[in-house]
Amino acid sequence: MTTREQRVAKFNANRPVYQAVPKAESLARTAKDRKICESLEEAIRRSGLKDGMTVSFHHAFRAGDFVVNMVMNKIAEMGFKNLTLASSSLIDSHYPIIEHIKNGVVTKIYSSGLRGQLADEISKGILNEPVNIHSHGGRVHLVKSGELKIDVAFLGVPMCDKFGNANGFSGKSKCGSLGYARVDAEYADKVVLLTEEFGEYPLNPISIGQDQVDLIVQVNEVGDPKKIGGGATRMTTNPRELLIARKCAEVIFNSGYFKDGFSLQTGSGGAALAVTRFLEEKMRRENITASFALGGITSSMVALHEAGLIKKLIDVQSFDKDAAESLARNPNHIEVSANQYANFSSKGASVERLDVVILSALEIDTKFNVNVLTGSDGVIRGASGGHCDTAASAQVAIIVAPLVRGRIPTVVENVITCVTPGENIDILVTDHGVAVNPKRPDLIETLTNAGIALFTIEQLCERAYSITGKPKDIEFTDKPVAVVRYRDGTVIDTVYQVKA
């Protein structure tokens, strides 16, 4: 009888031949606690991070995020240089990155947006290479196409088990959906979880799975969930924003798209988020039920869902505590990744099923181009977010904005920075009137027949200028500080350094 070794040798398949490994050695290699690190420094060291690599983060905690600063401070302390920082977004609290730029720790940034001191310094030209500003869907496209290669993802979660199964709606510091983090967990070479608490194995439901996670480190805090619902995701009490929201609800009601089974998304910004409140009364009166609400899910949407007025919630990011807690208790509150949410090169993005999206704007011009990134002074103070993703995909994209903010016009002849092209914007609702893109004669006819008074956008611009005066042109240097990437990766605009 031939031996097993002889039979294998005779076949000669040029494949590696099995070599016996003692079970004790095998069990040591697959030890149950092998992913656990005693400190953040150990996790960084074991991740294999090297100079010149790319590190990534998510922003589910928004203004309450602690992970970016915690990790970047430790990385700087350990002496790493020339890193690319790829966070799904960066906000006011991330100002310590300024020092990491000055010290050569961070030399390149990809982000959906920038705010606060960090945005100010980048607008002044502190970074040698311009920041790449992408949309939420566009970020996934850059990752999947290979342009944005994530070497190590540092992902904060409120709870996971000791093998790496995690979600954002268990534990003390619930952030809700981990829609952005799920992309990094799938595509990063190494994935490090930072967790506040450990749950029993297997922790479920699973947002990030054990087969995606390399290392885990327990820290005191990953974020403050009370700060998720502030800033751009606050629920407004401003009378003007409520007036705009009420008018927008009237426009939706008379648009021809307000019918049983319609779908909607509200973007960030007080007026946009408030529209849901005013739609509720109309939905009840007309016995209308929405099939789903998408995107950043709010307490208002949760209330409508639990009242039976919205059948399903599709959640890439939870905008407040109520939304985060709803994920845990409502089976039809569904978490999705940013790829499923808005990546135009995915095999199916939920934005493609949208009927109506309501979005905010810093500026909109007479060609309906929208700026959500730079202020009237040319300084970065916003984020691309899902703005261009949803506008391009929804049947009706509505901008809600005040005609003027103080002495600054919102409706202008030309936006300072174009994030969403005008061909994808259908309606503008302001406190001074409504304008419809002339490329949508169907909406003009429907709304006119319904008795909605319409203006041309040029008329609204003239009215804005009559209040504020025509703004003076901003002077820029020749140094680019940010490149605005459209959702397909192309460059749609460039932000230049403002002259001092």
Better-predicted residue by pLDDT, 445 or 299: 445
Q: Is residue 1 part of a domain?
A: no
User: The tokens of 419 are what?
Assistant: 């994030």
Alpha-carbon dihedral angle through residues 121, 272, 136, 171, given to the nearest 10 degrees: 90
Strand-pairing partners, residue 193, are 155, 216
With tokens 């999206």, the residue in question is 357
Phi, psi of 144 (to 5 degrees): -70, -30
Provide the mean pLDDT of the chain.
96
Q: Is residue 492 part of a domain?
A: no
CB of 381 closer than 8 Å to CB of 422: no
CB of 221 closer than 8 Å to CB of 311: no
Q: Is residue 190 part of a domain?
A: yes
Residue 217: its H or E element: strand 215-218
% of residues, the chain, pLDDT over 70 = 98
**Alpha-carbon gap, residue 62 to 5, rounded angstroms:** 59
The DSSP letter of residue 233 is: G
- Give the pLDDT confidence score for residue 176 in this predicted structure: 98
- Give the pLDDT confidence score for residue 231 in this predicted structure: 63
CB of 122 closer than 8 Å to CB of 100: no
Do 151 and 60 reside in the same domain of the chain? Answer: yes
CATH number of the domain encompassing residue 157: 3.40.1080.10
Q: Is the pLDDT of residue 321 over 70?
A: yes
User: The tokens of 61 are what?
Assistant: 């905690």
**Alpha-carbon gap, residue 332 to 352, rounded angstroms:** 19
Beta strands in 310-448 (DSSP E): 310-318, 333-335, 356-359, 363-365, 370-371, 382-383, 396-400, 404-405, 408-409, 411-412, 427-430, 433-436
Q: Name 236's Cβ contacts closer than 8 Å, sequence gap at least 6.
A: 242, 245, 270, 271, 273, 274
Q: What's the whole-number mean pLDDT along residues 352-372?
A: 98
CA nearest to 228, candidates 89, 68, 64: 64
Q: Is the pLDDT of residue 232 over 70?
A: no
The CA-based angle 351-337-62, given to 5 degrees, is 95
Do 212 and 194 reside in the same domain of the chain? Answer: yes
Cα separation values, 191 from 99, 248, 500, Å: 25, 43, 42
**Alpha-carbon gap, residue 271 to 20, rounded angstroms:** 66
9-59 residue pLDDT tens: 888 778 888 999 999 999 988 999 999 999 999 999 999 999 999 999 999
Q: Which residues of 272-286 are buried (b: 16+ CB within 10 A; e: fewer)?
A: bbbbbbbbbeebeee
448-472 residue pLDDT tens: 999 999 999 999 999 999 999 999 9
172-185 residue pLDDT tens: 999 999 999 999 99
Do 223 and 237 reside in the same domain of the chain? Answer: no
Q: Is residue 25 part of a domain?
A: no
Q: Is the pLDDT of residue 233 over 60?
A: no
Do 202 and 249 reside in the same domain of the chain? Answer: no
Q: Is the pLDDT of residue 235 over 70?
A: no
CB of 170 closer than 8 Å to CB of 199: yes
Do 157 and 268 reside in the same domain of the chain? Answer: no
**Alpha-carbon gap, residue 87 to 204, rounded angstroms:** 26
Strand-pairing partners, residue 380, are 374
Do 211 and 91 reside in the same domain of the chain? Answer: yes
- Give the pLDDT confidence score for residue 166 in this predicted structure: 99
Do 186 and 235 reside in the same domain of the chain? Answer: no
Instruction: With H, G, I as helix, E, B as strand and everything else as coil, classify residue 219.
Output: coil
103-121 residue pLDDT tens: 999 999 999 999 999 999 9
At which of 193, 227, 261 does a domain end? 227
**Alpha-carbon gap, residue 114 to 311, rounded angstroms:** 34
- Give the pLDDT confidence score for residue 234 in this predicted structure: 60
Domain count, the chain: 2
User: The tokens of 471 are what?
Assistant: 């703004």
At which of 209, 227, 245 does a domain end? 227
Domain span holding position 269: 231-474
58-107 residue pLDDT tens: 999 999 999 999 999 999 999 999 999 999 999 999 999 999 999 999 99
